[in-house]
Amino acid sequence: MTFPRPAGTAPARRRRTAPPRAVLVTGAALLLTALPSAVAAASGADPRPAAGSAPTAAQTLGADRPAAGLLRAMQRDLGLTAEEASQRLVNEAEAGTRAGLLRTALGDRFAGAWLNGGTASGLTVATTSSDDTAAIRAQGAEPAVVDSSLDELKAVKEKLDSATVRNRAGSVALDAPVWYVDVRTNRVVLQGTSRAAAERVLRAAGLQRDRRVAVRVSDEQPRALADIVGGDAYYIDDTFRCSVGFSVTKDTQQGFVSAGHCGQPGSTTAGANTAPQGVFQQSVFPGKDMSWIAVNSDWTATPQVRGAGGSLVQVSGAVRALVGASVCRSGSTTGWHCGTIQQENVSVRYAEGRVDGLTRTDVCAEPGDSGGPYISGAQGQGTLSGGSGDCTRGGTTYYQPLTATLADFGLTLTTATPESTVPAPETHAADAWVKGRVYAAGTTVTYGEVRYVCLQDHQAQSAWSPELAPALWKRL
């Protein structure tokens, strides 16, 4: 059995009465008095408790010790300073506790809660009774008196959940694709591409526009997003099936590597969910058996391979293993199988031509597994090219080494290894070490003013600079 001719089935084509009001009881009011630390935090006071006191909400939830990357992203996307971003996280945590206690106290009169302000310093709590406003203000929140409770609005939304409108072809109509409870406006909002489309859904749900229901017209058409995971199926030109190898990037473009025989440059791909996925950018077969596919914005590259039972295995790099090392393979036909590396630099003659530089293993595979990843420990090894036998009787398989694919196409493997915080020293040497470059064993480089020799084939990462990775580099 050989795999160079993509095999597998073509993808199936599937487009994918009001509760009584009551006055806030004394017991609830007493419950709301036990929040001094939350109020202090919201006012900007130090949220840390005195010795022996209970931790604040921010401390319990970890909001007082955010990751630096999270703060940077908040500064970038929310237009905050670092101090404002930190304060917002504390405010959000403390406000969540206050809102939760108010919700418990208000019971079926509770109509939602929301934050206001750039640092989330304002908390609004809605109620269906004006008798609750004083108690809400007493806890540092702004009251909003509304017509419908949150439970009422949820009941309305459940009717929309159950409504189905079909088009003339019998498929589910997608022209009113979004609906939700909007606590700020105290309504259920149905979003449609036209008012008429939304009205059809309301009628099907037995609803009409009133104080509880609003229609919003928008041309938005939400689409499913998905991750790139090694071993998952993908389909080529709506005809053949192969398996994802490893996630990669080229500059800012995300994608994945696979077998060259799976498609030609320009061939289009769909994911395992049959959603449009990407386009083959480069492909070589025969001679070598490698390709890479650039994906659209619906897909996100991940450092993951589909392991046993659907579990996810993290890929930390691409350090080439020795002959005799254990190696496991993931594929969309047969799943997760392991064995050992038998030989390297193997030439194989397929009916379509000869392929050189492959690695031979005793790991089984079957048609449709083509292009799937081999991993040794946490290190990516290669992508399935072909073989013989099957996973019932056992067999022999050959993979295209990953380091060769990365080097030939100028790709960077997506890994789970954190970036190093140690900056690389400046050097003007012609053979200076470069992150992202694939180094073969025996290659010498200059790092700073020091010379090193590479001990194992691998793609360089910042955490693996020569001075930090004695397993990969030896100082000369």
Query: Which amino acids are annotated catalytic?
Result: 261, 289, 370
Which residues share a beta bridge with 386? 398
Reading across the β-sheet that carries 240-243, which strands appear in turn? Answer: 240-243, 233-236, 268-271, 276-284, 290-295, 253-258, 247-250, 412-413
Three-class SS state of 91:
helix
> Are 283 and 264 in contact, with CB atoms under 8 Å apart?
yes
Which residues share a beta bridge with 290? 284
CA distance linking residue 424 with residue 431, whole number of Å: 14
- CA-atom Rg of the chain in angstroms: 29
Q: HEC profile for 141-196?
A: CEEEECCCCHHHHHHHHHHHHHCCCECCCCCECCCCCEEEEECCCCEEEEEECCHH
Residue 380: left (phi > 0), alpha (psi -120 to 50), or beta? beta
Which residues share a beta bridge with 249? 254, 412
CA distance linking residue 67 with residue 380, whole number of Å: 28
CA distance linking residue 357 with residue 306, whole number of Å: 26
**CA 416 vs CA 33, 294, 304, 317, 329: distances in Å:** 46, 20, 8, 8, 19
